[in-house]
Amino acid sequence: MADPFRVIAFDGDDTLWHCESIYSLAEGRLQALLEPFLRSEEVKRRLYEVEMRNLRVYGYGAKGFTLSMIETALEVTEGRITGKQVADILEIGHFVMKHPVEPLEGAREALEELARARPLALLTKGDLFDQEAKLAQSNLAELFTHVEIVSAKDAATYDRVLRRLGVAPRELVMVGNSLHSDVLPVLELGGWAIHVPYHVTWQHEVAGLPEGPHQERFAQVPSIRDVPGALKLFTQRVTPA
């Protein structure tokens, strides 16, 4: 059977290695620090507001997150935060930035299996330094023939990357934990997408499941181990036996 797919692309954070769970721990620490001023749920809401406001200034990543935590603390305390407390928040940021990269269980095995048949690409968004360091620490870099670190993953970004690779959207399968960034824009372009949910999703990445004609090019699986199976299913849909 001819292989209809020329590139299998993977997201990094929460698809190949843990990420959001570390941010959740950091958020909990900020909530504890600001407890005398505001209740936890409210801190969470305010931090998210500040992050969204700053996204177009800082982009995604741990450094922008750290600055947003400081800004939130300044707002919540009406400027009464002490130098010691700023140092504590910087320490929370360092905790995120220096946290060891832990690949998701089964990620290496799934990548190894898939890499035998076709080129794999990593398509991840965020801070260049952060993402390069995570990839190096994950020990997965050798499995990718193409690595792309971008500041946002929308249809225009995918289109640009695919043009550069000389790959048509229908020849791409994207694998990721975010419906918002990894699935919907790819389906919109005419590509295929496999959603592997992570147990925590950042509010910004939450989106509804695809509907209508796109569903034929979409699959949702519980674990990265199930990606090779989903890919076989896609192949059968393109070239029925």
Residues in the site for Mg ion, rule: CB under 5 A? 11, 13-14, 177-178
Q: What is the C-alpha to C-alpha distance for residues 63 and 8, in angstroms, rounded to an integer?
A: 30
Question: Cβ 201 to Mg ion, closest distance in Å?
Answer: 9
> Strand 218-220 and strand 192-195: pairing?
parallel
b/e for 166-179, b at 16 or more Cβ within 10 A? ebebebbbbbbbbb
Taking the least distance from each CB to Mg ion, the nearer of 17 and 234 is 17
CB 233 within 8 A of CB 219: yes
100 DSSP assignment: P
Question: Cβ 83 to Mg ion, closest distance in Å?
Answer: 35
Question: Cβ 38 to Mg ion, closest distance in Å?
Answer: 29
Taking the least distance from each CB to Mg ion, the nearer of 70 and 218 is 218
Question: Cβ 190 to Mg ion, closest distance in Å?
Answer: 22
Taking the least distance from each CB to Mg ion, the nearer of 89 and 101 is 101
Q: What is the C-alpha to C-alpha distance for residues 165 and 6, in angstroms, rounded to an integer?
A: 10
Q: Which two tokens stand for residue 20?
A: 């959001």
* Segment (H or E) for 194: strand 192-195
Taking the least distance from each CB to Mg ion, the nearer of 44 and 195 is 195
Taking the least distance from each CB to Mg ion, the nearer of 75 and 188 is 188
Question: Cβ 222 to Mg ion, closest distance in Å?
Answer: 16
